[in-house]
Amino acid sequence: MYDIIIKNGTLVDFDKNKLTVKDIGIKDNKIASIDSSLNSGRKIIDAKDKIVSPGFIDIHMHEEKIIDGEDGEIYDIAYKMLKMGVTTCVGGNCGNNRQSIDEFFNFIDSNGAPVNYMIFAGHNYYRNKLGIDRYKEATREQIEKMIDLIREDIGKNGAVGLSFGIEYSPGIFLEEILEICNSIKEYDILISAHYRADAKKGIDSIKELIMISQVTGLPMQISHLGSCTAMGQMRESLDIIKEAVDRGIDVRADCYPYDAFSTFIGSSVFDDGCFDNWNKSYDSILLTEEPYKNIRCTEEIFHKVRKEYPNMLAVAL
């Protein structure tokens, strides 16, 4: 007897590339059988006209800050992800953690969580922690301090890898990335990266990330490829990635299914020259918070908000 039978559910048969209606028998928390007619179960769930699917993995999530107190959100993002069928979330992307990894997992250990979490150690997070100007190169002493912090979070506190947000800190030089990556090579980890620059500079950025993987021997996940090169260079970037894979370099890429991006208006992404690079104008920036909520920028508003509300989220359309 099965513990649970999910009856009449529509399954995706990827081998035959079609949909099929089957029953699923679950025993001891595992799928024990998939058949056309299962009847002996302690609990029966009728899934007629519904698709039965494993939980999705969101490999690129920006997790909320989940701590006790007024500054924390208690799983606001996670519950929204769960409603979309996401059961495993990978946070700490683009070099940024909202809080320390130790603090994040201690909260989950004490309070539980609606989804399974995996977290990258974010390189930019450690730069900010050490007070390194985003436009300046890290000193030897600062790099060594970052390595100590990163090794502790990966070796002790449960981080699954290391992420970089190169565009967000233009002072990050390649040598800094390579030295930090080489210092953690003994761990079984993944590295991911938000590219150095997009649009007409995107191809060189993709090549840089592939080279980092090749030199360090660490698997590289290129973050949200679409916002990097889906401006006329997507085919070329995909060909470059495929050629690297064919050469044995362990590199992959992900892409979100919409044609906009969001970040803080004070980010270096919006530094001088960004509109020329994108072939866009100020009104392509939509502000999302008061006192300019749902307002598109003019040149005056853009510079005012950059100066007075640098932590306001903006959407670039």
In this structure, what are the phi and psi dihedrals at residue 247, rounded to the nearest 5 degrees? -85, 0
> Which amino acid, residue 50?
K
Tokens read off for 90: 């990978």
Q: What is the pLDDT of residue 65?
A: 86
Q: By percentage, how much of the chain surpasses pLDDT 70?
A: 98
Decide if 256 contacts 262 (C-beta within 8 A): no
CB count in 10 Å sphere of residue 124: 21
Residue 210's closest CA among 179, 238, 171, 170? 238
Phi-psi region of 183 (alpha: psi -120 to 50; beta: other; left: phi over 0): alpha
- What CATH class is the domain 56-253? alpha beta
Residue 186's closest CA among 143, 210, 211, 216? 216
Decide if 212 contacts 185 (C-beta within 8 A): no
* Sequence-ordered list of residues with C-beta below 8 angstroms from that of 192, at least 6 positions apart, any chain: 60, 93, 120, 161, 162, 163, 164, 220, 221, 222, 223
Tokens read off for 307: 């100066």
The model carries a pTM of 0.89
* Sequence-ordered list of residues with C-beta below 8 angstroms from that of 3, at least 6 positions apart, any chain: 26, 27, 28, 29, 41, 42, 43
Q: What is the pLDDT of residue 72?
A: 56
DSSP H or E stretch at residue 193:
strand 190-194
Q: What radius of gyration do the chain's Cα atoms show?
A: 22
Interval 41-50 mean pLDDT: 95
Cross-strand pairs, 221:
192, 252
Return mean pLDDT, the chain: 95
Q: What is the pLDDT of residue 66?
A: 83
Is 12's pLDDT higher than 80?
yes
Is 69's pLDDT higher than 90?
no
Q: What is the pLDDT of residue 64?
A: 86
d(CA 280, CA 237): 22
CA distances to 156, 229, 279, 285 from 203, in Å = 36, 7, 17, 24
CATH 3.20.20.140 in the chain: give the residue spans.
56-253
d(CA 193, CA 220): 8
pLDDT 10s digits, 136-161: 999 999 999 999 999 999 999 999 99
Is 68's pLDDT higher than 70?
no
Tokens read off for 225: 């490829």
Task: Provide the pLDDT confidence category of residue 75 given band limits of 50, 70 and 90.
Answer: confident
pLDDT 10s digits, 269-279: 999 999 999 99
pLDDT 10s digits, 226-244: 999 999 999 999 999 999 9
Interval 94-113 mean pLDDT: 93
Decide if 153 contacts 146 (C-beta within 8 A): no
Task: Provide the pLDDT confidence category of residue 70 given band limits of 50, 70 and 90.
Answer: low
Residue 118's closest CA among 44, 68, 61? 61
Q: Is the backbone peptide bond immediately before 54 cis, with ω within 30 degrees of 0? A: no
Task: Provide the pLDDT confidence category of residue 73 given band limits of 50, 70 and 90.
Answer: low
Instruction: Give 149 or 188, the one with higher predicted confidence.
Output: 149
Is 67's pLDDT higher than 80?
no
- Buried/exposed code over 146-185 (b: 16+ C-beta within 10 A; e: otherwise): bbebbbebbeebbbbbbbbbbbbbeebeeebbebbbebbe
